[in-house]
Chain A
Amino acid sequence: MKPIVFALLVIALDPASSRAQSRTVPRTADGKPDLSGIWQVMNTAAWDIQDHQAQKGVPAGQGVVEGNELPYTPAALEKKKVNFASRAAADPETKCFLPGVPRITYMPFPFQIVQTPAQVTILYEYAHAVRNIFMSTPHIEGQLYWWMGDSRGRWDGDTLVVDVTDFNDETWFDRAGNFHSDALHVVERYTLADQDHITYEATIEDPKVFTRPWKMNMILNRHREKNFRLLEYECFSF
Chain B
Amino acid sequence: MKAKIYISFKNGILDPQGQTVGKALSAIGVKNISSVKMGKYIEMEFSGVSKEEASKITDESCRKLLANPNTETYSYEVIE
Answer yes or no: are A and B bound together in one complex: no
Spell out B's residues near A (CB within 8 Å).
none
Spell out A's residues near B (CB within 8 Å).
none
